[in-house]
A = this chain, B = another copy of it.
Amino acid sequence: MKAKAADRVLKNLEAAAGNGLLDRRAFLRGGAALTAAMSGYASAAPLAEDPWSRAPGGTVPAYGTPSRFEKGVARTLSNPGGEARTHHARTPHQLLQGSTTPNGLHFVISHAGDPDIDPGAHRLAIHGLVRRPLVFTLDALARYPMVSRASFVECGGNSAPLFSPSPVQASVQALHGLASCAEWTGVMLSTLLEETGVDPKAKWLLAEGADAPHLSRSVPLAEALDDAMIALYQNGERLMPGNGYPMRLLLPGWEGNMNVKWLRRLKLVEAPAMSYYEARTYAPILPGGKAWQFYFLQEVKSFITHPSPGLELKGPGFYEISGIAYSGNGRISKVMVSADGGASWAQAALQEPVLAKAFTRFRIPWSWNGAPATLQSRAWDEAGNSQPTRAQIVALRGETAKPPPVTAFPSQHYNGPTSWAIEASGGVRHVYA
């Protein structure tokens, strides 16, 4: 009966593509008939006086935390016992909305846990091929002109499960949870390099963290003079311990590990330092046997967060399909969504303001008829790039655990599409389509 009601509504609305994708404006105009197709309604009877309406509530704390009913909205941890190996904490995109990642849920990769840094003792040194080496305290940095910008940060290994020959059954958090977005505030690196002066021989800088492994990466100086920032604040407050407190390098749109956290040193040099993390950890072997190094940009990408595995559909009818798109090249210009496995596509609405190198929320209304369906999204950026197919990526970089000529474990920079199969039961599965 609900499916029939949905069909009737659909007839009055403008289809934007096959299998129930609707035009957003038509949907909003035609809204008056939607409830017929939706669950959870009843005529308004006098409201119950719930227990929380009958007695005073709890004391307002000095620092707020989410409701106890939201305990499940948490990062998944790869190393909850704190063993001597890398920690991963993944953002639960399927439980979030909008384009900001709250600080408690920003993804973290930490190769030796989060250092407990005393900000009064921490120093940032800029040295090497400079006219005048300088050491900055946090107090000194506070006196410089600051800037704020929204920027995503994404691990180069985000979405690695999609290199698997068959689709890994996991949530969007498990597949794509190593990307997050925040408003960062700090001092432009170019401002500090004006202070130190730059020797014309300098072409790179080596950025080093104060964590125990002293994670370090080489960065082309041109990028440092463009939009690199010494970030001090994250969504208004000081950086979280896992995101580099008290300061990190922010290279908007470049792969996560280059945005060196707990930053203590920038050494200007003539050539890449070939540090451990760029010569070994983030240098996968390509089909053919060459190492893939110094790939910086996080290319254009998108994925649907609602619905997604774990968010079952509750019967046929109207849903909003919603997700996240972003590109290290600049602004997102367009996101197309398909509900029939790529046979037809409709353009999603992009939530304003659409900002360069930041998460952009896309949304499109969908009338589900209750039959199996396959949802996909594909994003374009203002530089004209769009997401490649999975087949194109695999041809260049291989698949996980397939014998020669393919390498052992391609894991970096997957930016192809993600497809969700909607089952007749309302369940959502990961598929390749």
Q: Is the CB of A119 within 8 A of B28?
A: no
Chain B residues closer than 8 Å to A66, beta-carbon distance: 63, 103, 237-238, 240-241, 245
Q: Count identical subunits in the complex.
A: 2
Residue on B nearest A109 in the bound complex, by CB:
B60
Chain B residues closer than 8 Å to A365, beta-carbon distance: 145
- A208-258 interface with B by 8 A CB criterion: 210-212, 214, 232-238, 240-243, 245-246
A79, B56: Cα distance in complex, Å: 13
Q: Is the CB of A210 within 8 A of B240?
A: no
Q: CB of A301 within 8 A of chain B?
A: no
A55, B213: Cα distance in complex, Å: 9
Q: Is the CB of A236 within 8 A of B98?
A: yes
Q: CB of A144 within 8 A of chain B?
A: yes
Distance to closest chain B CB from A226 (angstroms): 14
Query: At the interface, is chain A mostly helix, strand, loop or mixed?
Result: loop
Chain B residues closer than 8 Å to A126, beta-carbon distance: 44
Q: Is the CB of B183 within 8 A of A38?
A: no
Contact with B along A129-161 (1 / 0, CB 8 A): 000111111011011111110000000000000
* Interface-lining segment among A67-75, A272-280, A397-405, A416-424: A67-75
Contact with B along A349-387 (1 / 0, CB 8 A): 001010100000101010000000000000000000000
Q: Is the CB of B98 within 8 A of A318?
A: no
Q: CB of A47 within 8 A of chain B?
A: yes
Q: Is the CB of A87 within 8 A of B104?
A: no
Q: CB of A395 within 8 A of chain B?
A: no
Whether A148 contacts B62 in the complex (CB less than 8 A), given A41-B140, A110-B57, comes out as: no
* Interface-lining segment among A164-172, A191-199, A292-300: A191-199
Chain B residues closer than 8 Å to A42, beta-carbon distance: 134-135
Q: Is the CB of A68 within 8 A of B116?
A: yes
Q: Is the CB of A56 within 8 A of B212?
A: yes
Q: CB of A43 within 8 A of chain B?
A: yes
